[in-house]
Amino acid sequence: MTTRARLRLHGNGERLRLTTKPAADPLAMVREACRAGTALDKALGEAVCQALAAGHTWPEIGQALAGGVGTDGDEVLAEYAEARRRSWRRFWGMGEEPR
């Protein structure tokens, strides 16, 4: 029997915890995590579209995305992407990139 990579999110909306069931192939877990990340990106995109449709502004959305700033969609996206990049470097054990 092959062990399959599995991700589960637990929490109440304020804090989420990811638990994993190890796979025989570590790359299977990389693929599973990537699929989960894509699903979360899609959900975030839908939430941003709904916020805009409800009359919220880009600065408000930027603030909701971990306290980012920006006056338009491009600036908010750039701030969010940079924050994600810093997180990836930290979580992937690469440290902070020199500035």
What 3-state class would DSSP assign to 17? strand
Distance between alpha carbon 49 and the CA centroid of its chain, in Å? 17
* 58-77 residue pLDDT tens: 999 998 887 777 888 999 98
What 3-state class would DSSP assign to 11? strand
Burial 18-32 (b: 16+ CB within 10 A, else e): eeeeebeeeebbeeb
Put simply, whether the predicted model's pTM sits higher than 0.85 gets the answer no
**For residue 44, which of 29, 66, 26 has the smallest C-alpha distance?**
66
| Token representation of residue 80 | 């969010």
Domain ranges of the chain: 26-91
* 12-58 residue pLDDT tens: 666 666 666 666 778 887 887 888 888 889 989 999 999 999 999 99
| pLDDT for the residue numbered 95 | 73
